[in-house]
Amino acid sequence: MTKAVSSPPGFWTKNQQKLAPWLFLAPGFLMFIIYVLVPIVQSIWISFHDWDGLGEKVWIGLGNYVELLDDDSFYTSLKNNVIWLVLYLLSIPAGLAVALFLNQTVTGIRLYKSLFFFPFVISQVVVGLMFTWFYAPDFGLFSKLIEWLTGEQVAVLADERFVTYGIIAAGLWPQTAYCMILYLTGLNNINPEQVEAARMDGAKGMKLLWFVILPQLAPATFIAMVVTVIGSLRSFDLVSIMTAGGPYGSSQVLSYFMYEQALSEYGFRMGYGAAIAVVLFLIMMVFITLFIVRMLSQERNA
């Protein structure tokens, strides 16, 4: 900046067009390097060491990764992450259904829309607490319902068979609201005359949805996919609030496993935690790369 200003007169005017974009990008680039790129490299570096966070780092090469491959908790977490990923995607059709349902002109529709969007606004911590009470044996609504239906009490969050599904159900609530908003915006952009033209062409109900509405919602579906996939992989807060990974680590996911190893009362194994983080990062990179490739190819076609 100073260089540009102090240069002989005419330099700035000559190169303004070329330099200005970089100057505007500079703050963002700087932040990105300091807070994203450098920590990624540091994490990878730490993952090759045995380190308690305070003392000397000891280089152990791939030791952390070898240990990870023998760790049952790692496989539990990985399995749970896959379940999260698959079931979390349900929020996309659910969000579309709610959006289609809410996309009409009825008095007070704005109020209904805000109410449906509400779960996305409240903190994940609060969502987790509410669902914990919902599932709670003795007084939880869900437990009462199950007891009334089957005559047996089920403590969802204390049962290894159900606990992950219970947490995912809690996560689906705000995520569905998010997808709904994305779809509502998309639906707003559809020309009502097009729907009428389709009706004149004989397209009704599911046919209308499939051939005319959904293709035009493709951008919304894409964004919903991105946020849902990434959201499912970084699921942490609900697990932490509702079960802390329990019972017996059966509801752990990679991000919580990492936190437990590196930062919780169970120990400060920074190197091991970093190795878990690197694995999670690589899994995410697969999806992010797919998304970026698709985005670029779309831009080229447009």
Partner 1 sequence: MADVSLRKVKKQFGALDVIKGVDLDVQDGEFCVFVGPSGCGKSTLLRMIAGLEEITSGELSIGGRDMTKVGPSERGVAMVFQSYALYPHMTVAENIGFGLKMTGHSKELIAERTARAAKMLQLDALLKRKPGQLSGGQRQRVAIGRAIVRNPEVFLFDEPLSNLDAALRVQMRTELSKLHQDLKATMIYVTHDQVEAMTMADKIVVLSAGRIEQVGSPLELYHRPNNLFVAGFIGSPKMNFLKVTVAAGAGGSLNIALPGAALQLPSHGVSVEGGEMTLGLRPEHIDATGKGDVVIEATVKLAEYLGSETLFFVTLSDGSELAVKADGLAREKPGETIRLGINAKACHLFDANGLAVINGDLTR
Residues that bind partner 1 (CB under 8 A): 191, 193-194, 196-204, 207, 211-212, 215-216, 218
Nearer to partner 1, 21 or 192 (CB): 192
Could you tell me the smallest distance in angstroms from the CB atom of residue 203 to partner 1? 5
CA–CA distance, 215 with 209 (Å, rounded to integer):
9
Could you tell me the smallest distance in angstroms from the CB atom of residue 226 to partner 1? 20
Beta strand spans in the chain (E): 49-50, 58-59
Nearer to partner 1, 110 or 207 (CB): 207
Range 126-141 burial, b when 16+ CB lie within 10 A, else e: ebbeebbebbbbeebe
Nearer to partner 1, 14 or 204 (CB): 204
Helix, strand and coil content of the chain, in percent to the nearest 5, comes to: 75, 0, 25
Residue 42, CA atoms < 13 Å, CB-side half-sphere: 9
Nearer to partner 1, 195 or 244 (CB): 195
Pick from 128, 157, 95: nearest CA to 240: 128
Nearer to partner 1, 211 or 248 (CB): 211
Length of the chain: 302
Nearer to partner 1, 111 or 200 (CB): 200
Could you tell me the smallest distance in angstroms from the CB atom of residue 106 to partner 1? 13
Could you tell me the smallest distance in angstroms from the CB atom of residue 179 to partner 1? 20
Could you tell me the smallest distance in angstroms from the CB atom of residue 274 to partner 1? 45
Nearer to partner 1, 14 or 207 (CB): 207
Could you tell me the smallest distance in angstroms from the CB atom of residue 218 to partner 1? 8
**Which residues face 59 on adjacent strands?**
49
- What's the count of helices (H) and strands (E) in the chain, helices before strands? 17, 2
Could you tell me the smallest distance in angstroms from the CB atom of residue 217 to partner 1? 10
Residue 200: enclosing H or E segment and its boundaries?
Answer: helix 192-200
Tell how far CA 9 is from the center of its chain.
Answer: 51
**Which residues face 49 on adjacent strands?**
59
Nearer to partner 1, 73 or 103 (CB): 103
Q: Is the peptide bond preceding residue 27 cis, with omega within 30 degrees of 0?
A: no
SS (H, E, C) 245-275: CCCCCCCCCHHHHHHHHHHCCCCCCHHHHHH
Could you tell me the smallest distance in angstroms from the CB atom of residue 297 to partner 1? 16
Pick from 86, 173, 81, 187: nearest CA to 127: 173
